[in-house]
A and B are shown apart, each in its own frame.
Chain A
Amino acid sequence: MGEQEDRRTAVSEARFESLLDTAADGIIVIDDTGRMLVFNKICERLFGYTAQEAIGQNVSLIMPPEFSMSHDRFMSNYHRTGERRIIGIGREVSGMHRDGTVFPLELSVGEAKTADGRQYIGVLRDLRSRRAVEQRVSQLQAQVVHMTRLSAMDEMGAAMAHELNQPLTALLLYLQAVARQVKACHADGKPPSDKMLDVLDKSVQEAERASHIVQRMRQMVEKRDPERATVDLREVVNEALDLSEFVAQGATVTIRRVFGMTPIHVDADATQIQQIILNLLRNALEVAKESEERWVKVSIGSDDRSAFVSVTDSGPGFSEDVGKSLFRTFSTTKKSGMGLGLAISRAIAQNHGGDLMADPGGNGQGATFTLMLPMHRPDDAEDDTWG
């Protein structure tokens, strides 16, 4: 009987060990004094000690010194009070390799009561690779934001040249006209006529028209800190729409604004939100221009949790195929498109705790893109104490 039991234990121990060694995570078991009882293969790789070297030593061996001191305190505190700081919770901690390298780990701890007293099982995951990936993603994202800003600025540059052309042309022609008349009057020894003053007035107006255009463009292009503030979504969107009238470039697409009367407050980086609206609008205008009815509708609404901005156009919508890769970077159906607009817009929306959704339309209906953002909540600060 006893022999059989021993054999069974031996078998299950062997199984347990092979399980430990195939685990993708580091696994450590310690007793209630902090002594390591189990140290699996992954741990050997993570920390540079063999299991033989590690087992029997205090777990502080694999912690940076400042951490190991508080670990002892945590353990005795837990034994005294039962207050859980980590058990069943899991958190990010630092580990130390044999060579002194300190690195981030995700640690979850479970507790087991055994005949030999309390034991703790720690599951460890190396966070370095994930960190690197996260860093890379945020780098890429920053690059993409930069690129869309640049291409939007290119487009704006072209639009601005076009818009400025008209008032500048008028201005120069008025001045040419008045210069001729002044010369003629001078030659005849006559005083300047009312007509000449009238033309001068008009030329001042044209100069003002030009400078107004420059001012509005400047507001958009000037770098603002990417800081979040509580803003009225209607104002933010309005500004973007005003601006896009340049990009629309005298195209005969009507932009309908369907806004409510009450402010809709969100916590957002206004410039980035405008970036989204401009991207959506650019796409919508491009298809609306080719459509029969030639309109784009921008509506803003909210429920008690979220604010919405929807952009619908009179275009044909998009196919299921296009829908599949819509938000993927560099997926485009356009000759000159980069396929960045929607990808970056969704990234920005999600960074704000919101999202960007698409309704394909079709059958005579245009596509609808909806930006969702969480509503500003005045009592957000109090909620923070949870957790």
Chain B
Amino acid sequence: MPGELSRAAAIVGAAEANEIGYPETPKTALQLHIEAIKNVSDQTGIPISRIDGIFSAGWSSQIAEHLGLHPRYIDTTSVGGCSFEMHVHHALAAIHAGIIDVALVTHGESGWSSRATGGRGTGRPRGSGDPWDPGSLFSNPYGISGAPSNYSHAMTRHNHRWGSTPEDFAHIAVVTRQWATLNPRAIMHSRDVHPQGGPITIEDVQTARLVSWPLTLLHCCLVTDHGGAVLIAKPEIARSLRTKPVWIAGAGESMSHSNMLEMEDFTATSAAASSAAAYRMAGMGPEDMEMAMVYDSFTVTAGITMEMLGLAPRGEGFRLWKDGHAAPGGRFPINTNGGGLSFNHSGMYGMQLLVEAYRQLSGTAEDGIHGLPGKQTKARSCIVNGTGGSLSTTGTLVLVAD
């Protein structure tokens, strides 16, 4: 039986910034936020002034002020790329409690532009620890340089424990690229968009430059700009709009650690717990899911996640891609936008998951600016799973079409 919060609110619109990926003129994160917010307001017909709850990964007061809003609910949960799935969870609860009617979940991140202008995210090592992360004093001295250098340890352990191989995981990169070739907004859509764009082979993935063995460059996500925004509303409002509602049937969140030093099992994440909560709220299970949008910071992230969501046996998540089920035309589409691997990844990718899940379940995937019909799936339910930090934090949503 579904929980009390199930379907207490719906996602009623999802939009992106005008220009994402590698903008010709560098953009600020705030600019990317505002473009997406304006677009989702236009899409749904909900005036920005009607937003009474604001949810962002760290900048809610600045964004609300920029919009001239005085919200009744302010959430700045910022625990990595899954923050946005958690925002949806929190917004659902706030709407159910009657505190707000319309929630804005917003994202803007100039992963590409800030690099181009020499800003943060350039991966320099620090010797001193972060006082908020005492463990960092004992990992920073050892040449770690960002997410790939950590996540590779999980792939090695998975290969050792479950007998998988890097080639097994390479199928995730190859199939995800197939989806990107159907999405003109994907950085890796084609050679016209990017010199390395277009279809790739297992050999391409395995012979690409090593970043952190066993991860080659093509096992790793992109670094781009992105802005995105979704509006969530109570049922009375959701049913009155020109856009189709996508119902939040279930939501859950969890974490296993913050510093990878505390990761007990390198082949498991807290998505087992967050998805259990989401399934319970929805009164549904893995067998009821028809597609998935899962964070693919690295191939290994996506593979392990499918195991955690109960959609593959332990040690065999990669098979959904290797056996072709996740591919265009397959029985269980995964990451239909082309993923963080080949569509867009700005640093925190959870918003991109939400936008695509909304588009697929509302039947508007083709309208993604210049979308092609081939990108549309027939799925009526979608499990969305964000993963943040160093395989640290997870937020899971069960979304269903109207």
Chain B binds chain A: no
Interface residues of B (CB under 8 A from A): none
Interface residues of A (CB under 8 A from B): none
